[in-house]
Structure 1
Amino acid sequence: MSGTFKKIRRRVWLIINIVVVLWLLAGVYSLQVPPSEFWPAGFVAFSMPVPLVLNFFFLIYWALRRSWLVVLPFAVLILGWSYYARLIAINFEQEVPKGAKTLQVLSFNTHVFNAYDKISEGVPQVSDDMIEWVATHPADVFCLQEFYSRVNSIEHNNFNKIGTRYNKYKFASTDETDRIKANLGIVIFSKYPIVKGGTIHFSNTPVRTANRVAWADIDVEGDTVRIFAVHLQSMSIKAEDIENTYSAIGDEASFKKEGRNLARRLKRGFVARATQVQMLLDHVRASPYPVIVCGDFNDIPFSYTYNELAEELDNAFVEAGSGLGSTYNGILPFLRIDNQFYSEGLEAYNFETHYEMDLSDHFPVSATYVLKPKAREER
């Protein structure tokens, strides 16, 4: 009887293991499918961390059982290692080669420096600590999304506080969007001269959205690098949306309503970003210079958006980071939605997520790039 039970249990676990593998395969396939053409693919890809983790548990389970079936999850681990690398990076800190030409890039969604979280007498009050942290960071280039500044206010002119005060060059892609004429958008600051800049708008209508890409050509002591500062379509999911969904568990009608609302928001984001990333890649491919593409992508590493970028560019976290690298400072844990990608001609060192700066709903990320001499000679 005991032997029969063991056989049944083993068969059940094997079936579950096979289902996990099939789930993972479906996720890998879904990464190739634009959600703008088939939106359910976005949800399947989004779920990939679950089968990746489950497969690792099956590896441990079969190993402890000393079963030959350990071959199945082990094969998945080896063949799918590139996807595990997206989930967790294992790199040791490397010293930048002596004499190398370097460029340190900081990317940060500043959440308008929390201006609208601290309205006093109808006037937004920015976070001075956040502004000072950014202004004094040792990076060479600063790519700031959801940047906020009031040019007609000495107290709230963040162009001056971060840029002019420290003799930084700037390219701003901002709009005046509120009644007190505050500039909101994306700004690139640089210690090196900015030769040229532009904006990729995702909408052809007169009404511009905050989601866009700003780019700037940076002259790094005679070599040019094109920097793309990205802010793709937001997930539009607030903390209360998650809380409402959790609190609705047990109330079937309410749970369905909140669940559908959450799914609609995710779907809208998947579809929009699938189109936006193609517009971005068209400009990346057209660049005559090595590129760094960084910012708030609002998508996890298991998404069509990330996958399209990863097929053409290297990811700084994967190549030079460590740990989980979570960048979202909110109710949903372990989300890495801020990234830095880079092209041939560059090499990433010392990618860092700055958890010490926790005043925004995103954590800043930075990496140091070495400009390869071979690339410079070819140019």
Structure 2
Amino acid sequence: MSGTFKSIRTRVWLVMNTLVVLWMLAGVLCLQVPPSTFWPAGFVAFSLPGALALNILFLVYWVLRRSWLLVLPLSACILAWSYYARLLSINFEKEIPKGAKTLQVMSFNTHVFNAYDKIVKGVPQVSTDMIDWVAEHPADVFCLQEFYSRVNSVEYNNFNRIGTRYGKYKYASTSVGDRVAADLGVVIFSRYPIVEGGTIKFNNTRERSANRAAWANINVKGDTVRVYAVHLQSMSIRSEDIENTYSAIGDENSFKKESRNLVRRLRMGFVARAAQVQQLLEHVQASPYPVIVCGDFNDIPFSYTYNELAKELENAHVRAGNGVGATYNGPLPFLRIDNQFYSQGLEAYRFETHDEMALSDHYPISATYVLQPKGAEQR
């Protein structure tokens, strides 16, 4: 009798493991599908981390059972290794070659420096603390999304506080917003000269939308690197939406209403960002210089948006970072939606998520790149 029960249990676990592997396969396939063509693919891809994690648990189970069936989850792990690297990065620190040209790039969605007091209430110094932290950071290039500056304000004239008083060059892609005519948008500051700059205005956004990309050709000791500061379509999900969905559990009608609202917002975001990333990539592919593409992509590593960028470029966190690298400072944990990608001609040696700066709804990220000699092949 015990032998029969053991056989049934093994079959049940095998079927469950097979279903998880099929889930992984579906998730990987859905990463290739533009959400504008089939929007449910975005949700299947979004769920891929769950399948990857469950597959590891099945591997542990079969190992503990000393069963040859461990070959199933082990094979899936090997075949999906690059996707596990997106989930959790492990890198050993590399020594920067002596005499190498380096470029440290910091990217940060500043949430308008909390000028509207949305993140931390009752702390009047919070915005100036954040501004000073950015201004004094040792990076060579600063890519700031949701940048905010008022010309007629000492406290919020951030072009001056971050750039001018430190002798930085800048390229600003902003539009005038709010009641006090503040500049809102994407800005690149650089300690090295900016030779040329431009703006990519996405076709599916309003003229004055903050969702856009700026680029700048930067002269780094005689070599030119093109840096992009990107802010793709926001998820448009507020912390209140998530909290309302949690609190609605147990009330069927209310839960359905809140869940549909979340699904609708996510679907709209998937579709919008898919079009924007294609427009961005067309520009990147035409660059005559090595590129660094960084910013707030508002999509996790298991999304069509991220996958399209990863086909063309390396990811600095995957190559030089450690851990999950979560960049969203909000009610949903473990979300990495801010990234830095780079092309051949560059190599990432350091990557850091600055969770010590927790005054925005995003954490800043920085990476140090080595400029490779012309003609050198990237690994």
TM-score range, shorter chain: over 0.9
SS of 1:368 mapped into structure 2:
strand
The residue correspondences of 1:75-86 to structure 2 (distance < 5 A) are 75-86=75-86
SS of 1:117 mapped into structure 2:
coil
Instruction: Classify 1:47/1:263 alpha carbon distance in 2 versus 1 (closer, same or farther; 3 Å).
Output: same
Cα displacement (A) at 1:205: 7.4
> Could you tell me how far apart the structure 1 residues matched to 2:207 and 2:49 are?
37
Residues 10-66 of structure 1: per-residue CA shift (max 9 Å, x gap) = 111111000000000000000000001110000000000000000000000000000
**Matching residue's letter, 1:8:** I
In the other structure, the counterpart of 1:350 is 350
Alignment TM-score, normalising by the size of structure 1: 0.96
In the other structure, the counterpart of 2:133 is 133
Cα displacement (A) at 1:3: 1.3
In the other structure, the counterpart of 2:94 is 94
**Matching residue's letter, 1:178:** D
1:264 and 2:264 matched: yes
Instruction: Classify 1:108/1:276 alpha carbon distance in 2 versus 1 (closer, same or farther; 3 Å).
Output: same
Task: Tell me if structure 2 keeps the 8 A contact 1:94–1:349.
Answer: yes
Instruction: Classify 1:66/1:126 alpha carbon distance in 2 versus 1 (closer, same or farther; 3 Å).
Output: closer
In the other structure, the counterpart of 1:334 is 334
> Could you tell me how far apart the structure 1 residues matched to 2:92 and 2:228 are?
27
The residue correspondences of 1:1-379 to structure 2 (distance < 5 A) are 1-117=1-117, 127-203=127-203, 207-375=207-375
Cα displacement (A) at 1:7: 1.0
- Report the count of equivalent residues: 373
Cα displacement (A) at 1:154: 2.3
> Could you tell me how far apart the structure 2 residues matched to 1:140 and 1:234 are?
27
Task: Tell me if structure 2 keeps the 8 A contact 1:328–1:335.
Answer: yes
Task: Tell me if structure 1 keeps the 8 A contact 2:218–2:224.
Answer: yes
Residues 217-276 of structure 1: per-residue CA shift (max 9 Å, x gap) = 000011100001000000011111111111111111111111000000000000000000
Task: Tell me if structure 2 keeps the 8 A contact 1:229–1:293.
Answer: yes
Task: Tell me if structure 1 keeps the 8 A contact 2:128–2:155.
Answer: no
Residues 94-126 of structure 1: per-residue CA shift (max 9 Å, x gap) = 12111000100000000100111169xxxx987
SS of 1:277 mapped into structure 2:
helix
Task: Tell me if structure 2 keeps the 8 A contact 1:126–1:156.
Answer: no
Task: Tell me if structure 2 keeps the 8 A contact 1:223–1:376.
Answer: no
**Matching residue's letter, 2:83:** Y
**Matching residue's letter, 2:97:** P
SS of 1:55 mapped into structure 2:
helix
> Could you tell me how far apart the structure 2 residues matched to 1:334 and 1:206 are?
31
**Matching residue's letter, 1:293:** V
Instruction: Classify 1:375/1:134 alpha carbon distance in 2 versus 1 (closer, same or farther; 3 Å).
Output: farther
SS of 2:18 mapped into structure 1:
helix
Cα displacement (A) at 1:203: 3.3
> Could you tell me how far apart the structure 1 residues matched to 2:130 and 2:278 are?
33
Residues 262-317 of structure 1: per-residue CA shift (max 9 Å, x gap) = 00000000000000000000000000000000000000000000000000000000
**Matching residue's letter, 2:201:** H
> Could you tell me how far apart the structure 2 residues matched to 1:207 and 1:220 are?
33
> Could you tell me how far apart the structure 2 residues matched to 1:239 and 1:357 are?
19
> Could you tell me how far apart the structure 2 residues matched to 1:19 and 1:7 are?
18
Residues 301-354 of structure 1: per-residue CA shift (max 9 Å, x gap) = 000000000000000000000011000000000000000000000000110000
> Could you tell me how far apart the structure 2 residues matched to 1:348 and 1:285 are?
20
> Could you tell me how far apart the structure 1 residues matched to 2:25 and 2:117 are?
43
> Could you tell me how far apart the structure 2 residues matched to 1:12 and 1:272 are?
41
> Could you tell me how far apart the structure 1 residues matched to 2:321 and 2:287 are?
26
Cα displacement (A) at 1:155: 2.5
> Could you tell me how far apart the structure 1 residues matched to 2:29 and 2:126 are?
44
Instruction: Classify 1:26/1:360 alpha carbon distance in 2 versus 1 (closer, same or farther; 3 Å).
Output: same
> Could you tell me how far apart the structure 2 residues matched to 1:19 and 1:178 are?
51
Task: Tell me if structure 1 keeps the 8 A contact 2:205–2:211.
Answer: no
> Could you tell me how far apart the structure 2 residues matched to 1:196 and 1:376 are?
25
**Matching residue's letter, 1:237:** I
Task: Tell me if structure 1 keeps the 8 A contact 2:174–2:183.
Answer: yes
Alignment TM-score, normalising by the size of structure 2: 0.96
**Matching residue's letter, 2:329:** N
> Could you tell me how far apart the structure 1 residues matched to 2:154 and 2:363 are?
27
Instruction: Classify 1:181/1:18 alpha carbon distance in 2 versus 1 (closer, same or farther; 3 Å).
Output: same
Task: Tell me if structure 1 keeps the 8 A contact 2:126–2:359.
Answer: no
Cα displacement (A) at 1:375: 4.1
> Could you tell me how far apart the structure 1 residues matched to 2:60 and 2:201 are?
48
SS of 1:196 mapped into structure 2:
strand
> Could you tell me how far apart the structure 2 residues matched to 1:205 and 1:64 are?
53
Mean Cα displacement is larger for which, 286-295 or 237-246?
237-246
Task: Tell me if structure 1 keeps the 8 A contact 2:204–2:276.
Answer: no
Task: Tell me if structure 2 keeps the 8 A contact 1:201–1:208.
Answer: no
SS of 2:332 mapped into structure 1:
coil
> Could you tell me how far apart the structure 1 residues matched to 2:208 and 2:46 are?
28
Unaligned ranges ≥5, structure 1:
none
